[in-house]
């Protein structure tokens, strides 16, 4: 079975602060994919990033960066110089590529609500 | 805009009723997924269809059913509705591999009174 844990239920920061959202995952599969999604107050789920288990290179996209560490089964997400528009619930998710082990589905963490105040 | 469309955006109905939620996947995507998001259960996978066939089932109640049509749009049918079925229902689509990125629609907010 696979599991995603986002221990931080809610984080509040002031604009321009850096913030890191934690994600810890569990899977017995050697090939898997990790995702981050953003859910703003409007409700839609917006895809942010996908990373496979063989690529531990960190990624940066503008103010967003992701740190993937297989040794600690973590895939953390950092927002640099946060803005009010970053206020949202952020979900980490996991799916595996185990061949014909059944049908792989996306397992979500419970989400971290980020509140950025001006 | 993810390219996935869902209708209606909001739905208010009474207990015992039946409703149908509709989803159109992104152009070229063959897989459609349905999820339920509620405050107590979080995001729960319900069911997946691939090119018209059911591929995977999650925590979907027997009162719920879905199908994917030849034009690849999908419908989720919810019957004998209960108060606890009030939730945000998402449809997502992906290309064809099980590990392809799922892109989500805007959701349908169902309120059962």
Q: Are B101 and B76 in contact (CB under 8 A)?
A: no
Q: Are B88 and B41 in contact (CB under 8 A)?
A: no
Select the residue of A33, A103, A108 nearest B43 (Cβ to Cβ): A108
Tell me how close the Cα of A9 comes to any Cα of chain B, in angstroms. 12
Q: What is the mean pLDDT of residues A16-38?
A: 95
pLDDT band at B46 (very low <50, low <70, confident <90, very high): very high
For residue B41, the chain A residues in CB contact (below 8 A) are none
pLDDT tens-digit series, residues B63-87 = 999 999 999 999 999 999 999 999 9
Tell me how close the Cα of B15 comes to any Cα of chain A, in angstroms. 24
Select the residue of B92, B99, B104 nearest A97 (Cβ to Cβ): B99
Give the pLDDT confidence score for residue A97 in this predicted structure.
67
The distance of Cα A28 from the centroid of its chain, to the nearest Å, equals 19
Give the pLDDT confidence score for residue A104 in this predicted structure.
60
CB atoms within 10 A of CB A56: 12
Contact flag A44-B2 (C-beta cutoff 8 Å): yes
Contact flag A44-B103 (C-beta cutoff 8 Å): no
Give the pLDDT confidence score for residue A101 in this predicted structure.
46
Q: What is the chain A residue with the closest CA to B5?
A: A44
- Residue A48 belongs to what H/E stretch? strand A46-52
Tell me how close the Cα of A105 comes to any Cα of chain B, in angstroms. 7
Does B106 contact A at CB distance below 8 Å?
yes
* Percent of chain B scoring above 70 in pLDDT: 99
Contact flag B104-A37 (C-beta cutoff 8 Å): yes
* Percent of chain B scoring above 90 in pLDDT: 84
Tell me how close the Cα of B36 comes to any Cα of chain A, in angstroms. 12
Q: Is the pLDDT of residue A102 over 80?
A: no
pLDDT tens-digit series, residues B22-40 = 999 999 999 999 999 998 8
Select the residue of A35, A43, A111 nearest B106 (Cβ to Cβ): A43
CA torsion B59→B29→A97→A112, rounded to 10°? Answer: -60
Which residues between 38 and 77 in chain B have a beta carbon less than 8 angstroms from any beta carbon of chain A? 42-43, 45, 48, 55-56, 58
CB-based contacts of A118: which residues, under 8 Å, 6+ apart? A14, A15, A84
Does B107 contact A at CB distance below 8 Å?
yes
pLDDT band at A103 (very low <50, low <70, confident <90, very high): low
DSSP A28: S
Contact flag A37-B90 (C-beta cutoff 8 Å): no
């Amino acid at each position: 079975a696979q599991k995603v844990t986002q221990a931080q239920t809610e984080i509040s920061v002031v604009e321009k602060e850096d913030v890191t959202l934690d994600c810890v995952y569990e899977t017995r599969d050697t090939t898997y994919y990790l995702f981050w999604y953003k859910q703003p107050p409007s409700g839609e789920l917006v895809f942010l990033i996908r990373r496979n288990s063989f690529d531990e290179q960190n990624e940066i996209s503008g103010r967003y960066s992701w740190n993937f560490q297989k040794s600690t089964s973590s895939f953390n997400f950092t927002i640099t110089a946060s803005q009010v528009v970053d206020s949202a619930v952020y979900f980490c998710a996991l799916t595996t590529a185990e061949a014909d082990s059944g049908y792989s589905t996306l397992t979500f963490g419970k989400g971290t609500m980020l509140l950025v105040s001006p | 805009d993810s390219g996935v469309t869902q209708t209606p955006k909001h739905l208010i109905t009474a207990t015992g009723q039946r409703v149908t939620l509709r989803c159109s996947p992104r152009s070229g995507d063959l897989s459609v997924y349905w999820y339920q998001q509620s405050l107590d259960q979080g995001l729960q996978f319900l069911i997946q269809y691939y090119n018209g066939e059911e591929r995977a089932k999650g925590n979907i109640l027997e009162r719920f059913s879905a199908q994917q049509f030849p034009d690849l749009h999908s419908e989720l049918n919810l019957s004998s509705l209960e108060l606890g079925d009030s939730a945000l229902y998402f449809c997502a689509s992906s290309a064809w591999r099980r590990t392809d990125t799922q892109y989500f629609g805007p959701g349908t907010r169902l309120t059962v009174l």
